[in-house]
Structure formats: structure tokens, C-alpha cells
Amino acid sequence: MPGAVGALDQFVVGVNPRSLAEVGRVIHGAQILTRSGPDGADSVLAEMAVDDRIDLRFERVIIGSGDGYFADLAAWLTAHDVRVTVVSRTGLLSWRLYVAVRDITYLDAALAA
């Protein structure tokens, strides 16, 4: 499981606008991005990562999703020498994302430990 959260760690969460109020009530201290439409939350996260050049600012990125949409982002980050960890539930990790990263943590297994 990824290490403890540090004071310099940053969190960005992508949500559908219909979920914004609910997510905002339960997630504190994170930047929340929103976009509607198919893959809206995923696309706004990926675009922000590239547009903000997180590859130049971070040594490690954790993607909390099993969605294959993030495979291109993970590959881009890895190509820019950023260590990428994917956190997903067992059985819900897409093959594209699985082959794009070397470090995978299965959330349900980590919680059981």
C-alpha cells in the first residue's frame, strides 16, 4: 500500500456534476474537478494533469481507479520518469491500465491486511 500521507501531498478528485455536493461533503482538503458527459470526470483529471505538467512537479502519482481511461496518462507519466501507482479493487482493473504501470495496490486486499 502506498506510504503515509504527507503534508506536501496533494489530492485531486474528478466527479460528475451530479455528485459534486455529496463528494464535497465527504472529501476535505482535495481539489475537486467536475465535468459532465461520458468520461467527463476522467477527462478533466487527465487534462489537468497534462496541462499543469504534473510530470515536472511530482516524483510520484497515485491513480485511484481501475478505469482504462487512465492508461494513456499513466504511460505519459511513466515516460516522464514519474513513479505511478494504481490503486484499484480486485477484478476491476482494466487490462490497459494494468500493463501501463508496474506498481499496483488492490484496495480490498490492503484493507483486509
Predicted confidence pLDDT, tens digits, the chain (113 residues): 456 778 888 899 999 999 999 998 998 889 999 999 999 999 999 999 999 999 999 999 999 999 999 999 999 999 999 999 999 999 999 999 999 999 999 987 656 65
In-domain check, residue 4: no
Residues 6+ apart with CB under 8 A from 102: 78, 84
In-domain check, residue 113: yes
In-domain check, residue 95: yes
Same domain membership, residue 104 and residue 59: yes
Same domain membership, residue 108 and residue 70: yes
Same domain membership, residue 47 and residue 65: no
Residues 6+ apart with CB under 8 A from 90: 106, 108, 109
- Please name the residue that has the C-alpha cell 487527465: 46
Q: Which of 50, 102, 93 is nearest to 69 (CA)?
A: 93
Same domain membership, residue 76 and residue 43: no
Same domain membership, residue 68 and residue 35: no
Same domain membership, residue 61 and residue 42: no
Counted domains in the chain: 2
pLDDT for the residue 9 = 85
In-domain check, residue 98: yes
pLDDT for the residue 110 = 57
In-domain check, residue 78: yes
Q: What is the CA radius of gyration of the chain?
A: 14
pLDDT for the residue 107 = 87
Could you tell me the residue range of the domain that residue 27 belongs to?
A: 10-52
- Please name the residue that has the C-alpha cell 491513480: 63
Same domain membership, residue 113 and residue 65: yes
Total-model pTM = 0.86
- CA–CA dist 91, 11 (Å, integer): 25
